[in-house]
Structure 1
Amino acid sequence: MSSRIASRFAALKEQGRPALVTFVVAGDPDLATGQAILEALPQAGADIIELGMPFSDPMADGVAIQLGGQRALAAGQTLRGVLGMVEDFRRKDETTPIVLMGYYNPIYMFGVDNFLAAAVEAGVDGLIIVDLPPEEDEELCLPALKAGLNFIRLTTPTTDDKRLPAVLKNTSGFVYYVSMTGVTGAAIKSRGAVGEAVDRIKSHTDLPVAVGFGIKTAEDAAEIGRHADGIVVGSVLVDAVAKSLIDGKATGQTVGAVRELVADIFAGVKRART
């Protein structure tokens, strides 16, 4: 299936560098600033954007992303609002892939068929739904693929060779390797082990492998980017939003704080294969 995601990875392979995949929470810290952050990401170097769908019970997320989700929900963000952000983004940018990341409950409440139709209409390219295992593919994965959306699956250090084929069976777009067990925001303990894991996954699939969880600096990005097809940066960006706020409100520095951090990490990504 040809898609913006496949096209972007193919172009970057030609350039000889990994993709920079950036995660932000949709509508954090408020709806207008969240939109401005989203639109600033490609200018700063983001190749693919993961847009977090705020949810009241984000069990796989660490503190930074949980707080970002709480800020977005308090600002009035909804799943329909997230789709509206993508629609607005697409008026200015038709090429940068956007992947919605989150949990199944809001989609289930919205209605799977309604959600998929609205997501395609808005210009969404793929989904990462962290609480739907392969055994539940008929719930959302297969309908999403049929609708033309990539369905990106997470693999972890505990996904062994016996389990991996089931995880990869209906995966498309790319494989997201979670570099550690636990929640988002922790630090990577062994970069060498990450490289070995990427090689192992690649022996099972032709899809690009992006590595996330624990990548915080340009140095991290350069090191992990030697092995991976993509680098996913999330918690550190959401934390940058939080640190820019005064009394919980956006300031003139909020968008710039995220943009500058993305640009710095992008410099590391460009060094990855040199």
Structure 2
Amino acid sequence: MKPLTKQLKEKQEANETIFVPYIMAGAQGLDQLANEIQLLTEAGASAIELGIPFSDPVADGPIIQEAGLNALNHGVTLKKIIQQLKQIETSTPLVIMTYFNPIFNYGLDSFVTDLGETNVLGLIIPDLPYEHQDLLTPLLKNSDIALIPLVALTTPKERIPELVKAGEGFIYAVAVNGVTGTGRNYQESLDEHLAYIQSVSDKPVLAGFGVSSKEHVVRFRKSCAGVIVGSKIVQLLSEGKQKEVRSFIEAAVSNSF
């Protein structure tokens, strides 16, 4: 069992709300990354998802796209992010969300080796299909890094057990058809879908994409282990509203909504 899986399963078994905030690494400049990680850690984040800026994102909504462009304008690259992460000490597991192209350009072996010198314990790669994961899984086999699967609303029901069995860390349940963003209306059938994924998974299932309110957190906690919140966190940080970020996470993880 990978360390990220173990840590999050312990929270799930204790009936704690698992809350994973997403930030775009370098959106405010890489020199702010350590401060952002510290803020999210102090607020009680279960893990922190770090987006890697990419010129052609397929899953990012307008808020995260803008943050990615800001990071690119700051000259941020995957290599620079990893070098920065080597200098950051944190007790909170880090999860990198990136597309496959930056990893390929970095060099798969070098990428996994360098991550071993950081507190990155998970990888999310939206454009790496399950059938092609063997490009990376042999390199991760003897590492502490979990390859986290995504399960979409359109994923055939009979395929879901196969995906969750192969995954580690947590199961990323995409709660909408489309890209990330706030102000989403969720399908009524979503709760049943999430509950089914959790019923066939021995790892925590987290709902993501569009999660932006206390009502969303309360709703999804009834059918899965927690949530991933991206666009709302990215927006608040871009506006300098660190206090609002802290209070939102603190209320979610303490079940005090």
TM-score normalised according to structure 2 size: 0.92
Offset at residue 168 of structure 1 (A): 2.6
Residue of structure 2 in register with 1:143 after alignment: 139
2-side partners of 1:70 and 1:34: how far apart? 16
Query: Aligned residue for 2:254?
Result: 270
CA contact (8 A) 1:97 1:125 kept: yes
Q: Please give the alpha-carbon distance, in whole angstroms, between the structure 2 residues aligned to 1:10 and 1:175.
A: 11
**Aligned equivalents of 2:132, 2:117: Cα separation in 1:** 25
Identity, in percent, stands at 33
TM-score by length of 1: 0.86
Match of 2:110 among 107, 111, 114: 114
For residue 58 of structure 1, what is the aligned residue in structure 2? 57
Q: Cα distance, 1:167 vs. partner?
A: 2.4
Shift of 1:259: 4.6
1:68 aligns with 2:52: no
Alpha-carbon distance in structure 2 between the residues aligned to 1:72 and 1:32 = 11
User: Unaligned regions of 5+ residues in structure 1, if any?
Assistant: 245-253
In the TM superposition, residue 206 of structure 1 has moved relative to its aligned partner by 0.8
2:135 counterpart SS class? coil
Q: Distance in 2 between matches of 1:169 and 1:11?
A: 18
- Runs of 4+, deviation exceeding 3 Å: none
Q: Does the residue aligned with 1:210 lie in a helix, a strand or coil?
A: strand
1:192 shift after superposition = 4.9
What is the root-mean-square deviation in Å for CA atoms of aligned residues?
Answer: 2.0
Q: In structure 2, which of residues 120, 123, 130 is the aligned counterpart of residue 134 of structure 1?
A: 130
Paired AA for residue 48 in structure 1: A
Q: SS of the counterpart of 2:248?
A: helix
In 1, Cα distance between equivalents of 2:224 and 2:161: 19
CA distance in 2, matches of 1:175, 1:147: 19
Q: Which runs of 5+ in 2 are unaligned?
A: none
Once the 2 structures are TM-superposed, how far is the Cα of residue 141 of structure 1 from its aligned partner? 3.2
1:160 Cα deviation after fit: 1.7
| 8 Å CA contact 2:182, 2:212 repeated in 1 | no
- Matched residue count: 257
Cα distance change on mapping 1:145 and 1:210 into 2, 3 Å: farther
Contact 1:27-1:35 within 8 A present in 2 as well: no
